[in-house]
Amino acid sequence: MRVLGGVAILQAGWIAVSALVPRKRTTQPTDGPGVMIAGPLERFEPGSVTAFGDGRFYLARLEDGGFLAVHRKCTHLGCSVPWIADEQRFACPCHASAFDIHGDVINAPAPRPLDLFPVTIENGIVKVDTGRLIRRKTFEPSQAVRA
């Protein structure tokens, strides 16, 4: 009886898990619409930050001309961080975390820099792959993409 009961529980659990899994697979494509064209290189001034993709990420052009696509989600508790141009920083409204133009942490409690989307530059056109997020521990100049 116990063995049968165990088998029944295993079966029920297996059915429950498989009911959850396929739906996740079908929703995955909607998570990232894939590669997005941001625009021609020269449209972005060095030292500027532009919001994109309904605000899903910011395209930051560093003073040296490098590009970073910074995810808008605070690494602390997931709030959307607005870019405050006057103070040259991303300021999280929820717990006062702040990040510089590289997405690097200026103010705790955020535990790590803002995540990045991969940037590519083809024929002078900046493209961002919003389907893949890159986590990082600190900002390194090699993360910026240059023409």
Partner 1 sequence: MPENNTNNQRFRSSLILHLRPMLVPARAIRFTHTFGLGGMALVLVLLLMFTGILMMFAYEPSPERAWQSISSFQQDVLFGRLIRGVHHWSANLLIPVALLHLLRVFLTGGFHGRRSSNWLIGLATLFFILLSGFTGYLLPWDQTAYWAITICTEMLGLVPGIGPGLQQAIVGGSEIGSATVINFYALHVAVTPMALIVLMNWHFWKIRMAGGVVLPGGPTDDPRNAYRSVPFKPDLLLKEAVVTVVLIALVLVIAIVYGAPLGEPANPGISPNPAKAPWYFLGFQELLIHFDATFAILVVPLFVAVALVSIPFLSYDGEIAGDWFLTPKGRRLAIVAAITALIVVPLGVLIDERVIGPGGWLPGAAPLISNGLIPFAFVLAGVTGFYVLIRKYFAANRNEAVQSLFVLLFVAFAVLTATGVWFRGAGMTLVWPWQM
- Token pair of 113, please? 């820099």
Sign of CA dihedral 101, 105, 107, 110: positive
Residue closer to partner 1 (CB basis): 13 or 93: 93
Q: Bridge-partner residues for 57, per DSSP?
A: 52, 71
Q: How far is the CB of 118 from partner 1 (least distance, A)?
A: 15
Residues making contact with partner 1 (CB under 8 A): 20, 23-24, 27-28, 30-31, 54-56, 72-73, 76-80, 82, 92-96, 107-109, 111, 133
Q: 48: helix, coil or strand? A: strand
Residue closer to partner 1 (CB basis): 32 or 65: 32
Residue closer to partner 1 (CB basis): 112 or 127: 112
Residue closer to partner 1 (CB basis): 28 or 138: 28
Q: How far is the CB of 132 from partner 1 (least distance, A)?
A: 10
Query: Rounded to whole angstroms, how far apart are CA atoms 58 and 4?
Result: 56
User: Which residue's structure tokens are 């063995």?
Assistant: 3
